[in-house]
Amino acid sequence: MVSQTPDLKRIALWFVIIVLGILVFLLIRPVFLSIVGGLLLAYIFFPAYKRLTSFIKNRSLAAFTIAILIVLIIIIPLWFLVPLMLQQVFNVFSSTQSFNVGGIVSSIFPTASAQFVAQMAVAIGGFIGKITTYALEYLNGIFLDIPILSLQLVIVAFVFYYGLKDHENLSKFVSDLSPFNKANEKIIVQQFQSVTDSVLYGQVIVGFVQGGLAGLGFLIFGVDNVLLLTTLAVFLSILPVLGPFLIWIPVSIFFFASGQVSTGIAYIIYNLVIVTTVDNILRTYLVSRKTNISPAVILVAMIGGALIFGILGIFLGPLIVAYFIMFLKAYKDKSLHSLIIESE
């Protein structure tokens, strides 16, 4: 009976740990994505923080300065741009009600039958109407959820601040909990950093740059609803395989269909020379030197992540899949067991 007492205590201890773990999970589940978002921002802006600490020796003040700047960069554009975005989406929705889609289809396919033109006009008009309706509902939802979004943003800011300020303690804590042996831990950390950099810098940052250049083209050539089209271009630029060409090609067709041939040619040249070239150079440089994950895998992971986690899933999906593939490769190379077992 006495010999069973330690076993019972051990079982009770594990029961308490599991119950507490479940309770902690339930507590952080509503704000889990905010925590992850704050950590991702801390990872992205950590180089800027390190550079700032060379001027501001106080780490708390340096982290606070970076956190305030990032919060302002997020809040100020949202405060001014979301109402403008809502207005532009409403303008697109209104214009689609009287837009001559059939005339555009006829100009593109001059030899098409009247039935084909009518069917294409109905399909395109319905598609545009559904997209604009969804966008209006989504933007209205943002206004209704402002209190919740504000709370989430506060959590992101706090996690971001302490992620920068206490990065050494956080790294040590994760290292102490790591199941990997110390001989291979540095190699694994480097692989994780390569995968993370590939997704965050190679896909997301380059996507913002490419989408921004596409938006500059909208502004230069006098395209209406620049903010809405730029937002779509940025989103499509982040996704691999897809890109802002899904926006600027229809815009080019519109230029030609409306008789602005010279403008359409100049607009195509701008996108081919500036937007596409910058994408090919930056994305190839950053992704190829970091990891060799297929763009198709990243695309599927981004879409799946967005469906499960929302906008943040665009970043989390590829990271989760990339980490999983990394362990699969270790299993294939029969080195998975050696990652955990300490070498003699």
d(CA 48, CA 28) in angstroms, rounded, equals: 29
Q: Which residue has the tokens 């305030």?
A: 68
State yes or no: pLDDT of 269 exceeds 80.
Answer: yes
State yes or no: pLDDT of 114 exceeds 60.
Answer: yes
pLDDT tens-digit map of 60-74? 888 888 888 877 877
The vertex-285 CA angle with 279 and 290, nearest 5°, equals 125
State yes or no: pLDDT of 344 exceeds 50.
Answer: no
d(CA 43, CA 300) in angstroms, rounded, equals: 24
d(CA 224, CA 92) in angstroms, rounded, equals: 9
| Alpha carbons within 13 A on the beta-carbon side of 310 | 7
d(CA 239, CA 315) in angstroms, rounded, equals: 10
User: What's the pLDDT score for residue 141?
Assistant: 67
pLDDT tens-digit map of 312-326? 777 777 778 777 877
DSSP state of 259: T
DSSP state of 201: I
d(CA 243, CA 325) in angstroms, rounded, equals: 25
d(CA 207, CA 279) in angstroms, rounded, equals: 8
Contact 248, 220 (CB under 8 A): no
User: What's the pLDDT score for residue 5?
Assistant: 67
